Structure 1
């Protein structure tokens, strides 16, 4: 796993090439850092076809129990690594921007399109050619926690781009795009559970191996919550729609949320109520009709909004501005109950 030696905060580490260096010095600084920062030493050389545009490489990582997350903006370069049989990680990389990247993971070079998602095995040698650099995000998970054999890992490495696999869009990419939220370095243990769940669910699907519900639970719960956060204002959103979206039975969905403070249907209602309270508290709320607020929050009608507001605050809608302090306290509690 990466051992970032620069600015750090708990498990979170960052690296950037210092200012004031010449282009040659910048590349040498990056090359020296890069070659020593990763578990499997990488060798970097300048690409013969490097873009003339000045590129500023940088990296950020989060390391925790049995996992690491890495986001890297790589300089234009040729990179290679020797086989490292001691590597115990299973790695998935999401190449967000890779306009001219070529990877050689199985002996044969192949182009990688922007948005591609691939497994990478550094226990065998490989290389890349990135004349314009690339931007990638990577999950590394201790393989022993996933019970993935050498044969199974070989099968995963040989898979082509996984970007269109439904579980990648549902679980993997959201995990890779949302991990830099404030305070995540203080949540390393919980993050480890989610990432192992993400990887177990994906690997189980790709290898057609059953995955226990308990192993899927952290990843699925988080993915469903993110989906609800983005979709609560759809008046048609209900448990049946969520079950169809994630290809699960209603019973399975209720199981995944049985120990949550808010069950699935309650969470949808709470999200709508939170937004309604925020709108009702706005200074110009009087210019917005209750019907407009209800519709913009996903409530089927004004009466549904009134009942939800009464349930969560103990007040009628008309009392909101007369008891603003109490409403803000209730809103704060509602927001806390909706945290991922």
Structure 2
């Protein structure tokens, strides 16, 4: 099933009232203590889609859309918070203006910025907008190598074609993928915390240390696997060459906690087979095996049963009514 996201939304023609107050309360619950008010006496709406990310408690990925909303976090809110968070915002559409630490930045589509909840801030989103937000307790981010004492580069526009902008692309695509393939999104999310740390280091002007840098390389490999896993002839040598690393480095990147290289590839293929087996169009099992990237029907049967506890035929019969 994967970590399926939940979505809540609201719309009102009169921004002063119970409906808007309920939305403001939801924002406090989803993020951290803040005040939310309409910018003007005009219709307003909001939609939030959120899910947890693996690695540490409180690590989440959210897509927020809306209009006519003014977010304000004061010193009183900061003092009342039980946890400090780092919030990364990636603008998808529209624009938003963040003010923090005496700096103001207007985000345009594709740009990213960082908010530090240990400081007061103001966030204005007047016209219709959509953002991807990544939130993590700051203490867990500080546990990563190189981030213990670094000054968080808040309220700075990070361009999509910059080195940390690569990480913004990763989170934007992860938010998109989880809507229709949450299980595959879970596989891709394994390196999320390390990549977020890399983005902060790069935005601050520091070079990532080994662990975050490896996370970037591993994610590059994972993206390549996701695009080519249906090729039954895909080899480690081909993956390494396409990602401009050696075979030794390739296997080292997947050595340790988390799924191995083979486990990642096998998981992608099994998830694909599950979708084919439950689709309205009934395919022969041999076709499902080939279209999912398995070299033979026999190999497909063995791997599928190991991963799901069921044969492909039983899985189809169980999930199609």
Short-chain TM bin = 0.5 to 0.7
| Aligned residues of 2:15 and 2:38 also touching (Cα < 8 A) | no
SS in 1 for 2:226: helix
> How far off its partner does 1:113 sit?
0.8
* 2:27 paired with 1:34: yes
Correspondence for 2:100: 105
Q: Which of the numbers 121, 125, 131 marks the counterpart of 2:120? A: 125
Correspondence for 2:193: 196
* 2:141 paired with 1:146: yes
Q: Which of the numbers 86, 93, 96 marks the counterpart of 1:90? A: 86
| Matched pairs, number | 282
Q: For the aligned residues, what is the CA RMSD? A: 4.8
2: distance between equivalents of 1:45 and 1:240? 56
Runs (5+) with no aligned partner, structure 2: 310-321
* 2:58 paired with 1:69: no
2: distance between equivalents of 1:35 and 1:253? 42
What TM-score results when the alignment is normalised by the length of structure 2?
Answer: 0.64
2: distance between equivalents of 1:266 and 1:161? 31
Correspondence for 1:57: 46
CA deviations 1:127-148 (Å, max 9, x no partner) are 2332223222211122222323
CA deviations 1:82-117 (Å, max 9, x no partner) are 2426652222111212x2422223434332111222
Structure 1 segment 135-214 matched on structure 2, within 5 A: 135-147=130-142, 148-149=147-148, 151-153=150-152, 156-157=153-154, 159-166=156-163, 167-168=166-167, 171-179=170-178, 194-206=191-203, 207-213=205-211
CA deviations 1:287-318 (Å, max 9, x no partner) are xxx9xx99x989xxxxxx9xx327725xxxxx
SS in 2 for 1:157: coil
Structure 1 pair 77–204 and aligned structure 2 pair: CA distance change class (3 A):
closer
User: Which protein shows a greater Rg?
Assistant: 1
Structure 1 pair 220–174 and aligned structure 2 pair: CA distance change class (3 A):
farther
Structure 1 pair 201–264 and aligned structure 2 pair: CA distance change class (3 A):
farther
CA deviations 1:111-170 (Å, max 9, x no partner) are 2111222111222222233222322221112222232356521xx225422422353156
Runs (5+) with no aligned partner, structure 1: 1-9, 299-304, 314-328
What TM-score results when the alignment is normalised by the length of structure 1?
Answer: 0.61
Of stretches 70-79 and 111-120 in structure 1, the one that deviates more from structure 2 is 70-79
Correspondence for 1:80: 72
SS in 1 for 2:224: helix
SS in 1 for 2:45: coil
